[in-house]
Amino acid sequence: QASWVQKDDMVDGLGTNGYTSVHDVRADVTQLRACAALSNSANGRVVTGGCKMSETGRFQHHQDVVSGIRVNANGIVITCSWDSWIHAFDLVQWRELQQGVCFNKQQQQATTFAKDGEKLLAVATSPCTPELVGAASVTGRTWLWNMDSGAVHTLEERLRGEPVNDVDFHPMQSDAACTAMDDCRAILWDISLQTKVRELMQHDKTVTCAKFLGSNNFNNTSSSSVYERVVATASADQHVRLWDLRAPALQAALPAAADQRLTLAASASNHMLVVGSDHGTLAIWDLRRLRRRYCCSLSTGQQSSREVASLALSPCCSFLAAGLFSGAVLIYDLVHQSQQKLCPPHDDAVLGLTWGAGSGNTGPMLFCASHDSWWSAWAAPLQPTQVHDGGKAGSCSHGVATGKGSWAQ
C-alpha cells in the first residue's frame, strides 16, 4: 500500500486546533477580499486602481478544441486538445518546443481502439516531477507522458471505457494522482505502479473536476498542512465533496447548484475553496469551518453568457480568473477588489485556465485554453500589490522564468 494512503494520524476534520494563528488572520483577510471583489462586481460598483492585464500572445498550435492548459515548474506551457495532441511552449524562449505527442498514434498499441480517436479532455503537470504530464481521454484512459524520456504509459481500467473528465497530481507525493470519471466515480492511483488504489463512489452524477488541496509552495505554512491528504471532487449532482486519502469515509459534501458542470480553485494556506457553476455563480468557501462565505451571480445577462467553464487562483492569491462558456474571461483583483474583463475575448468557451510566473518585467501571467482551437497568454504589470500565498502582504510568491529546466522562486 502506498505511503500516502496510510490511515494513521488521521486528520480530524478541516477546522483549526482551537486557536487563531497569524496565518488564520491572513486567511480571513484574503477571503474577505475575495468576497468583496465578487460583491463589487455583482452589484455594479466601479473600483479604480485595479491591476489591468494585457495580452502577450495568442497561439493556434492545435487543429481542434484546446481543452486543457497547465504550466509546469520549469516554465513550460502544456496544452491538450481534442485533436489527440499535447504541445509544449517555452515561456523564456517564447517558442513552441519540438517536443509533443499524439496519442492517436500511441492508441494503436493500447488495449482497445476508439473510432473517434484519443480526444483529450484535460491536462495536468506534476509539481514533484515537472517533466511528467497527465492527459485525460474520452476513451477512459489517462495518459502519462515523460517529456524528457518520451516514455508513455496509461492509467486505465481494462473493463471500462468511460471518459476521464479531469486529472490532478498530488503536490507533494510524486506517486499519487486522482482522476474524475464520467461514470460518477473519482479514482486514486499509484502512478509508480500504474494501479488503482481507491474508488470514491458517493457521487450521483458525472464527476467533472478533481483537485488535491495541498500545496507544494516553498512558502507553505503549517496552517495548510491539514490539506496535504485532502482531495476535492466536484460533481454534476450539485455537490463538492472533500475526502481524506487515508480514510474511506467522506469528510464533507458542500452544496453547489449546477446542471452539468462544477469547477474548482483552491488556496490551501488561505483555507479557501472557490466553486464555479454552469448556473453562472461563484462561491467562496472557508475550509476551516466548512462554511460558505459568499455566493454571487456573475451578471444579469442570459444564462448561456455567464456559465463558468474554468477557474484559477494565482499562486500569490492576488487574482481569481473565471473562464466562461461565452469565451469571456473575468479577472478579479483581490487586492483592489476590482474586476477586469479580458479583451478581446475568445470566440468560444474558455475550458482551461492556469497561472504562471512572469518574466523579469511582468507580474503573474494567465494562460487560457479555448474551444475555438486557440490559447492565449496575458500578463499583469509588475507592482508590489500581490498578496503572498500564506506570507506577508506586499510580496508575491510567483516565480520568475529563467529558461527551460529552471524556474526560480
Q: Is the pLDDT of residue 399 over 60?
A: no
**With the CA atoms of 109, 111, 117 and 119 taken in that order, what torsion angle do they form, in degrees rounded to the nearest 10?**
-110
Q: Is the pLDDT of residue 31 over 70?
A: yes
How confident is residue 301, by pLDDT bands cut at 50, 70 and 90? Answer: low
> Which of 100-114, 335-349, 389-403 reaches the highest mean pLDDT?
335-349
pLDDT of residue 283: 97
Residue range 108-166, pLDDT digits in tens: 444 443 445 789 999 999 999 999 999 999 999 999 999 999 999 999 887 677 899 99
Concatenating the DSSP letter of every residue in 304-354 gives HHH-EEEEEE-TTSSEEEEEETTS-EEEEETTTTEEEE-SSPPSS-EEEEE
How confident is residue 328, by pLDDT bands cut at 50, 70 and 90? Answer: very high
Q: Is the pLDDT of residue 405 over 60?
A: no
Q: Is the pLDDT of residue 169 over 70?
A: yes
How confident is residue 52, by pLDDT bands cut at 50, 70 and 90? Answer: confident
Instruction: Return mean pLDDT, the chain.
Output: 83
What percent of the chain is predicted at pLDDT more than 90?
65
What percent of the chain is predicted at pLDDT more than 70?
79
The count of C-alpha atoms lying within 13 angstroms of the C-alpha of 341, restricted to the half-sphere facing its C-beta, is 12
pTM score, whole prediction: 0.87
pLDDT of residue 409: 28
Q: Give the residues across from 367 on adjacent strands.
A: 354, 377
* Of residues 236 and 111, more confidently modeled: 236
At 40 the three-state DSSP class reads: helix
Radius of gyration of the chain (CA): 20
Q: Is the pLDDT of residue 392 over 50?
A: no
Residues 1-5, mean pLDDT to the nearest whole number:
41
How confident is residue 306, by pLDDT bands cut at 50, 70 and 90? Answer: confident
Cβ–Cβ contacts within 10 Å for residue 178, how many? 27
Per-residue burial over 356-381, b = 16 or more CB atoms within 10 Å of its CB, e = otherwise: bbbbeebbbbbbbbbbbbbbbbbbbe
Residue range 360-375, pLDDT digits in tens: 677 899 999 999 999 9
Comparing 54-68, 105-119, 191-205, the range with the smallest average pLDDT is 105-119
**One-letter identity of residue 69:** I
pLDDT of residue 334: 93
